[in-house]
Each structure stands twice: as structure tokens, then as C-alpha cells.
Amino acid sequence: MTRPLALSLGEPAGIGPDITIAAWMRRDAVDLPPFYLLGDRDCVARRAQLLGVDIPIADVCVEDAADTFATALPVVATGHPATAEPGRPNATSATAAIASIRRAVDDVGAGRAAAVVTNPIAKSVLYQAGFAHPGHTEFLAELARSDGVVPQPVMMLWCPSLAVVPVTIHVSLRDAIAQLTTELIVSTARIVVQDLRRRLGIAAPRLAVAGLNPHAGEDGALGSEDRNIVAPAVEILRREGIDARGPLPADTMFHAAARKRYDCAICMYHDQALIPIKTIAFDEGVNVTLGLPFIRTSPDHGTAFDIAGTGRADPSSLIAALKLAARMAAAPSP
């Protein structure tokens, strides 16, 4: 029997319920793989009513989710109600969101689901409830802890024409430069290569490594980091047999012809990676967490409180995340 995808609820007051409903309604048109939502059936039913959508919603156990998917939106209860209204998180939001993520990871770990797909969370809401992690990625890494060791999670943003990975993520630009080391670039790139091979079936991944400074530092004239930090990382990777080139000037890495020469761009900081992919595929980008013992994808956008419950939320990124998760789960290792 086909294992379904485990979809977390995300922030109940955001657009997670909206795009989940919209994605399920398009399941046949876009050939969507079976998934089930982990959360509160009443929350989803209220949102569907607000949106003016009449859809069947079924309370199911995981084992029945795939068979139910064709005729009803399967919801697996977590036992945590979500009573927040659209755009207005309340005291139930954080517990409902966290319980949903935990259960999704548990289901994949137990073999009940093929992959984890997460709806957007509101980090500020979780922080107010005592959430101790910077975000989704770090929380998932903690849930993957084994024998006291937390794996290094790597954030990849993916669309059919571009994949990018920022080496440093949710920190200020000043802190990103301070955190950047040869070792961090190398460990990040190794994880990227490993998962491109085992999750996406790319036998010999090609990496384009961006320089930190304009023009990749102009041989030290515009900063020493590219010569002293980035270039040694590329050399280490090449000695390991990895097809890595760089440091390359970031301003010429992302035009159409350049993108055909690599499988993933390794970028030095958050916006260097996210600006190009959000320009190219704002509505269809997927956030993928590499380096974990399970597959995790997510829409590449936030909770959009301002349009929650209005019917204006675009499910394209969630649809892409679900389809990519299924593809990764089915990919044979090269």
C-alpha cells in the first residue's frame, strides 16, 4: 500500500488550512500524491466554511489515509484543538502547531508515512509560548537527535530551474560573515551532495560556490574572505572528488545559461540564496531540509496572516512541496 505524506497543520491562524484545502481540491488536476493533515478536524471545517468551500473532511487513522484521500480530505487528530481565527493566533496555536510537527516526524520514523511536509509556522507565536528553537529547521534537527547527536540541518530552496543552499541562514549579515568558515562551507556542501545523490537521484552533483564579496573579492582587493575562507573550501571539496567550482561572482551565477552548468548553488548568506530563487519562482519554490534521516519539504512562504481565510492564498508552493516530497521518497539511490 502507498504510504501517504504527513502534512503538519502549521500556524492555525495562518494560510495553512486554506492552502491545504485548496491543494486537496486540485488533487486530480495536478496529480497530487496522497497526504493526510495532522491537526484538528474542526479547525479545518471552520476554515472551509469561511472560504465557502463544501468539501468532505474525514477523521481517520494513518493506515486509512491513503485510501480516503480520493474522496475526502483525511485528517489525523493530534488531540490538540486549534481554535484561533484567521489572522489572530491564540493560546492554542503554538501547542497545536508543535504537536502536529512532532507527530509527523513520529509517523515517518515509524514507517507510517513517506515524508514530512510542513505548513508555515509563526515563529513569534511559538517564541511567546517558550519555543526554544530559531525555527522549523532547528526543531526538526532536534527531533532527529540520535545517541545524543543532533544532525546538521541544511536548508535548500528548490524549484525546477534552480536549487540554492545558504551556508549561514537566519542571522544578521554581520553575524553571517563572522560565522562563515571553511569548515562550515565544506560540511554544508557534503550534506548537499549526499542528499542530491540519495534523495534526488543525481549521481554526480555539480556545485557552484558563490563568493562572499562583490566579484568574489577581486583576489583580495574587495575583501579577503573569498581567498582565505571560500577558495580553500572549494579545494577541499574538489580533492574529495566533488564537482565544485568557485568562488564565483554571485551577480553572474543566476541567469538562465549559468544555471544550466550546476545542480545547486552554495551561497554564503541568506539573501544571496533566497533573492534569486524567489525572483524566479516566488509561488512555486520549495523549502527542503537536507541532512536529516527523513525527508522534509515545506512551502517557501510564511503564514500570510493578512490573507488567511480570504480565499486569496495560492496553494502552488504547497503543491510543489508535496510533489517534491513524493519524488524524493521514491527516488532510487544512484
pLDDT band at 258 (very low <50, low <70, confident <90, very high): very high
Residues 139-177 pLDDT 10s: 899 999 988 899 999 999 999 999 999 999 888 999 999
Residue 25 has pLDDT above 60, yes or no: yes
Look at the chain and report how many structural domains it folds into.
Answer: 2
171 and 147 assigned to the same domain: no
Residues 39-59 pLDDT 10s: 999 999 999 999 999 999 999
Residues 112-133 pLDDT 10s: 999 999 999 988 898 888 888 8
Crossing angle of helices 41-51 and 16-25, rounded to 10°: 80
For residue 82, being part of any structural domain is answered with: yes
Q: What is the structure's pLDDT at 203?
A: 94
For residue 293, being part of any structural domain is answered with: no
CA distances from 115 to 41, 123, 231, 250, 295 (A): 21, 22, 36, 33, 5
Is position 78 annotated in a ligand binding site? no
The DSSP result for 213-276, as a single string, is SGGGGGTTTT-SHIIIIIHHHHHHHHHTT-EEEEEE-GGGSSSHHHHTT-SEEEESSHHHHHHH
Q: What is the structure's pLDDT at 236?
A: 98
144 and 4 assigned to the same domain: yes
User: Cα 232 vs. chain centroid, distance in angstroms?
Assistant: 29
Kindly report the CA angle at 146 between 299 and 128, in degrees rounded to 5?
Answer: 50
Q: Do residues 322 and 114 lie in contact, with contact meaning Cβ atoms separated by under 8 Å?
A: no
Q: In whole angstroms, give the CA distance from residue 135 to residue 126.
A: 9
Is position 170 annotated in a ligand binding site? yes
Q: What is the structure's pLDDT at 22?
A: 98
Kindly report the CA angle at 102 between 145 and 27, in degrees rounded to 5?
Answer: 125
Q: What is the structure's pLDDT at 333?
A: 55
Is position 197 annotated in a ligand binding site? no
Q: What is the structure's pLDDT at 1?
A: 56
Residues 214-252 pLDDT 10s: 998 788 888 899 999 999 999 999 999 999 999 999 999
Q: What residues make up the domain containing 172?
A: 161-280
257 and 312 assigned to the same domain: no
For residue 267, being part of any structural domain is answered with: yes
229 and 131 assigned to the same domain: no
For residue 291, being part of any structural domain is answered with: no
110 and 1 assigned to the same domain: yes
The CATH number for 228's domain is: 3.40.718.10
Is position 133 annotated in a ligand binding site? no
Residue 107 has pLDDT above 80, yes or no: yes
Residues 65-104 pLDDT 10s: 999 999 999 999 999 999 999 999 999 999 999 999 999 9
Is position 287 annotated in a ligand binding site? yes
165 and 199 assigned to the same domain: yes
Q: What is the structure's pLDDT at 334?
A: 55
Task: Tell me the CB-side half-sphere exposure of residue 309, using CA atoms within 13 A.
Answer: 19
For residue 265, being part of any structural domain is answered with: yes
For residue 276, being part of any structural domain is answered with: yes
pLDDT band at 331 (very low <50, low <70, confident <90, very high): confident
Mean pLDDT, to the nearest integer, of 269-296?
94
- CB burial string 229-245: b at 16+ within 10 A, e below: bbbebbebbeeeebebe
Is position 301 annotated in a ligand binding site? no
211 and 314 assigned to the same domain: no
Crossing angle of helices 182-200 and 231-239, rounded to 10°: 50
Is position 270 annotated in a ligand binding site? yes
The DSSP result for 218-236, as a single string, is GTTTT-SHIIIIIHHHHHH
For residue 285, being part of any structural domain is answered with: no
Cell of 50: 469561511
147 and 21 assigned to the same domain: yes
Classify residue 249 as exposed, middle or buried by CB count within 10 Å of its CB (0-12, 13-18, 19+): middle
Cell of 215: 566579484
Q: What is the structure's pLDDT at 54?
A: 94
pLDDT band at 61 (very low <50, low <70, confident <90, very high): very high
Is position 296 annotated in a ligand binding site? yes
Cell of 296: 522534509
Answering whether pTM is above 0.75, one says yes
13 and 61 assigned to the same domain: yes
The DSSP result for 104-157, as a single string, is HHHHHHTTSSS-EEE----HHHHHHTT--SSSHHHHHHHHT-BTTB----EEEE
